[in-house]
Chains A and B, each alone.
Chain A
Amino acid sequence: SQQGEEDPQALSIQEGENATMNCSYKTSINNLQWYRQNSGRGLVHLILIRSNEREKHSGRLRVTLDTSKKSSSLLITASRAADTASYFCATDAGSTTGGGNKLTFGTGTQLKVEL
Chain B
Amino acid sequence: DAGVTQSPTHLIKTRGQQVTLRCSPKSGHDTVSWYQQALGQGPQFIFQYYEEEERQRGNFPDRFSGHQFPNYSSELNVNALLLGDSALYLCASSFFSQETQYFGPGTRLLVL
Instruction: Name which residue of chain B comes closest to A5, CB basis.
Output: B42
Size band of the A side of the interface? 20 to 34
Residues in B neighbouring A99, C-beta threshold 8 A? 31, 48, 50, 55-56, 96-97
Q: Which of A45, A92, A97, A106 contacts B55 (CB 8 A)?
A: A97
Q: Is A12 an interface residue (CB 8 A)?
A: no
CA distance A92 to B92 in the complex (A): 14
What would 7 A/B residue contacts be, using CB atoms closer than 8 Å?
A1-B59, A35-B103, A40-B88, A42-B104, A43-B103, A102-B33, A104-B45
A88 to B42, Cβ gap below 8 A?
yes
Q: What are the residues of chain B within 8 A of A98 when measuring CB–CB?
A: 96-97
A102 and B45 in contact (CB under 8 A), knowing A33-B100, A95-B56? yes
CA distance A88 to B37 in the complex (A): 12
Residues of A within 8 A of B (CB): 1-2, 30-31, 33, 35, 40-45, 48, 88, 90, 92, 95, 97-108
Question: Distance (Å) between the CB of A42 and the closest chain B CB?
Answer: 4
Which positions in B face A, CB cutoff 8 Å? 4, 31, 33, 35, 41-45, 48, 50, 55-56, 58-59, 88, 90, 92, 94, 96-106, 108
The reply to whether B42 and A107 contact each other, CB–CB distance below 8 Å, is yes
- State A95–B45 Cα separation when bound (angstroms): 14
On whether the beta carbons of B42 and A101 are closer than 8 Å, the reply is no
Q: Within the complex, which residue of A41, A104, A108 is in contact with B106, where a contact is CB–CB below 8 Å?
A: A41
- Given the complex, which residues of A lie within 8 Å of B104, measured CB to CB? 42
Known: A41-B106, A97-B56. 10 other contacts (CB 8 A): A42-B105, A43-B43, A45-B102, A48-B100, A101-B98, A102-B45, A103-B33, A103-B35, A105-B35, A106-B42
A63–chain B nearest beta-carbon distance, Å:
14
| B88 cross-chain contacts in A, Cβ below 8 A | 40
| Chain A residue at minimum C-beta to C-beta distance from B94 | A101
Give chain B residues whose Cβ lies under 8 Å from the Cβ of A102. Answer: 33, 45, 48, 56, 58
Complex interface: chain B residues within 8 A of A97 (CB): 55-56
